[in-house]
Amino acid sequence: MSEYLFVYGSLRSAAGTDWSRRLAANAELIGAGRVQGSLFQLGQFSGLVLSRDADRWVVGEVHRLHNPETYWPVLDEYEGSEYPRCVVEVRLDDGRHLSAWVYYYQGDVSNCRRIESGDYLRPV
């Protein structure tokens, strides 16, 4: 099981949430990057919908979990059943590519606003 996690919302370092601090204590920040997909505003949270659309990207960062076998269940519970995880290719800002887990949204987004920038922390 991969030890890498791509985060794009409330778990990002700059989000300043309790959960982003918990992740920082249990993982090493590898770097900023992006994955193909669209980002939607879902109330106070965001949701990534994966796609192969070449001009749609979601901005985030990759972390390497210190103890993935113990921390994955904690993250799975936090994300909940509407956010399963899968492995995606991440393009890091430094030019590297790697495979990482991401929590994506599997609910209906037809009435949700798409975050055009693909960046939860800079939605404009």
4-114 domain in CATH 3.50.50.60? no
Spans of all domains in the chain: 4-114
> Which residues are CB-neighbours of 81 under 8 A, at least 6 positions away?
none
pLDDT tens digits, residue range 74-99?
Answer: 999 999 999 999 999 999 999 999 99
8 A C-beta contact, residue 104 and residue 87: no
Q: Tell me what pLDDT residue 69 has.
A: 94
- Mean pLDDT (the chain) is 95
**3-state DSSP assignment of residue 17:** coil
| pLDDT tens-digit readout, 1-52 | 689 999 999 999 999 999 999 999 999 999 999 999 999 999 888 999 999 8
Question: What does the alpha-carbon distance between residue 88 and residue 101 come to, in Å, rounded to a whole number?
Answer: 6
